Amino acid sequence: VNIAIIGAGALGSLFGGLLARTGQTVWLYNPSNVEHIQAIRSQGLLIETLKGDTFCVQVPATPRIEEIPKPVQLVGVFVKAYNTQEALEQVRPLIGEHTWVLSLQNGVGVEELLLKYAPKGRALRGVTAQGATLAAPGRVKWAGRGPTRLGPLEPEALDARTRRELEQIVQLLDDAGLDAQYEPDVERVLWEKLLVNVAINPLTALTGVPNGRLIEDLELRAILHDVVREGLPIVQAHGVTLTLEEAIARVENVCRATAENLSSMLQDVRRGRPTEIDFISGPIVREGERLKIPTPLSRLLWQLVRARSGRLPQRSI
């Protein structure tokens, strides 16, 4: 299988590197971190495992899309959610009639773009609990393991042949060590993960604490619970069946399991970059409006994070 990883930062490089290690033909593409790409070109991609050992994978990497042989069978989109349109526009020449386009990006809101750029039936969406950070150019730290759930955005458009191809994609991700599972109900898993992100990400980004502090600090913990309580009816309208107790337990478990980690949004704020808040609190607030469910907390967190983060074109809230 020919795979192109678009936005080969920490997570994209981890996915690409693990796939290349199992013998897949993978290209890493990243036009905005040329240092990282140059390091991979000259020394290979180094992956530090959870156990602390490091292995090296030879994988082609480029900042120029024209270098990637086409068409590819699978495009993995790993850019930040707000860069999705631009990235898909750049990779359009790689997408042929049999190309699958997969996004495991945070949040909700890139689905329409995937449907627009992928061939009919071949837009894949999902979530991953794999964690990665860039330790240095060309060096990725595999910081956490967990399931990767993916499935089609248009299941009704699949036939027997495309269903088999999709099973193979799930299998090759799983063989690579990415704990992949086929997910028939993509919407539900996206909104379930959104509830975790909508609680953890803005609070950590605004207070500067690692995820674990959100449950150790009783004041932060009370706010965390309030944000989950507020968002729950909205995610329930998208197929999530958790009770309030289960939802709170789920969010607290993520805080515990990632206690030392800085959330992706806190890392973005620290680096003065834009954040994915429009794709995290944004959908909760917008869906709240549509469903006539008030979401004052998420609205406030959305506005505060926007005020705190690197500039994106202003959108009215």
List residues binding ligand KPL (CB under 6 A): 106, 196-197, 200-201, 211, 254, 258, 261, 263-264
Work out how close the CB of 120 gets to ligand KPL at its nearest, in angstroms, rounded to a whole number. Answer: 30
Work out how close the CB of 253 gets to ligand KPL at its nearest, in angstroms, rounded to a whole number. Answer: 10
For ligand KPL, the closer of residues 65 and 183 by Cβ is: 183
Q: Is 115 helix (H, G, I), strand (E, B) or coil?
A: helix
Classify residue 58 as left (phi > 0), alpha (psi -120 to 50) or beta.
beta
Work out how close the CB of 280 gets to ligand KPL at its nearest, in angstroms, rounded to a whole number. Answer: 8
Rounded to 5°, the CA angle 235-236-242 comes to: 105
For ligand KPL, the closer of residues 99 and 261 by Cβ is: 261
For ligand KPL, the closer of residues 148 and 264 by Cβ is: 264
Secondary structure, 3-state, 128-151: ECCEEEEEECCEEEEEECCCEEEE
For ligand KPL, the closer of residues 263 and 309 by Cβ is: 263
Report H helices in 153-295. 160-173, 186-207, 213-216, 218-236, 244-257, 264-270, 281-291
Q: Tell me which residue of 123, 119, 79 sits closest to 95, measured CA to CA.
A: 119
DSSP run (H or E) holding 42: helix 34-43
Which pair of tokens denotes residue 278? Answer: 């429009």
Catalytic residue among 70, 116, 141, 193: 193
Work out how close the CB of 225 gets to ligand KPL at its nearest, in angstroms, rounded to a whole number. Answer: 16
For ligand KPL, the closer of residues 19 and 214 by Cβ is: 214
Which single residue is written with the structure tokens 């990282």?
36
Residue 186, CA distances (Å) to 140, 155, 192, 284 in order: 28, 10, 10, 17
Rg (CA), the chain: 19
Rounded to 5°, the CA angle 29-280-109 comes to: 60
Residue 255, CA distances (Å) to 107, 132, 145, 267, 291 in order: 18, 16, 15, 16, 29
Work out how close the CB of 208 gets to ligand KPL at its nearest, in angstroms, rounded to a whole number. Answer: 14
Q: Is 80 a catalytic residue?
A: no
C-beta neighbour count of 58 within 10 angstroms: 13
Which pair of tokens denotes residue 181? Answer: 């599972």
Inter-residue long-range contacts of 51-56, CB under 8 Å, 24+ positions, other chains counted? 55/21
Which pair of tokens denotes residue 195? Answer: 């509830």
Work out how close the CB of 156 gets to ligand KPL at its nearest, in angstroms, rounded to a whole number. Answer: 30
For ligand KPL, the closer of residues 176 and 194 by Cβ is: 194
For ligand KPL, the closer of residues 166 and 198 by Cβ is: 198
Work out how close the CB of 282 gets to ligand KPL at its nearest, in angstroms, rounded to a whole number. Answer: 15
Enzyme catalytic residues:
193
